Amino acid sequence: MNRFREEIEEEEAGPEPELKAVPKKPKTAEEKMDSNSFISKLFNDGLVSKEAATDALPYLCFLAFLGMIYIANSHFAVNNVRRIDKLNKEVKELRWEYKSLKADLMFKSKLTEVAKKVDTLGIKELIEPPKKIIVKSDEY
């Protein structure tokens, strides 16, 4: 049989020790700050030495610089998108204005509309067809 299983079964079969409740002392604000501060634990416990942190400083500055460039690039892109939307709206408005002006010009250039406008000046439409003037080549 498995000897590890036997050890586990022996541990489970043994009497369980009773745990005594130990009253906890309330921590002061300074102790809470010191014990809970991740950075202070990081440097005080020796996980990161001051030399290692100093050596990593250029790398961290480079990462901060890249982050700033990333943020600036996103702002620039958003401004470009807003400007493009604004210009698209302006193009749509100008297109509609062009179409309406073109329709007005087509309406006003009709023969009947032109006749109405010119009638006030005293010019009337010809009833008889126009006469063709023939010039001989030796007369000129």
Q: How does pLDDT run across 52-88, given as a tens digit for each residue?
A: 878 889 999 999 999 999 999 999 999 999 999 999 9
**For residue 14, is pLDDT > 60?**
no
pLDDT value, residue 119: 86
pLDDT value, residue 18: 59
Residue with tokens 């010039």: 135
Q: What is the mean pLDDT of the chain?
A: 82
**For residue 125, is pLDDT > 90?**
no
> What is the longest distance spanned by two Cα atoms in the chain?
143
Each as own residue / partner, the long-range contacts of residues 43-46 (CB below 8 Å, 24 or more positions apart, any chain) are none
Amino acid in position 31? E
pLDDT value, residue 127: 86
**For residue 111, is pLDDT > 60?**
yes
Query: For residue 125, what are its two tokens?
Result: 């439409």
- For the entire predicted model, the pTM comes to 0.47
Query: DSSP code of 48?
Result: S
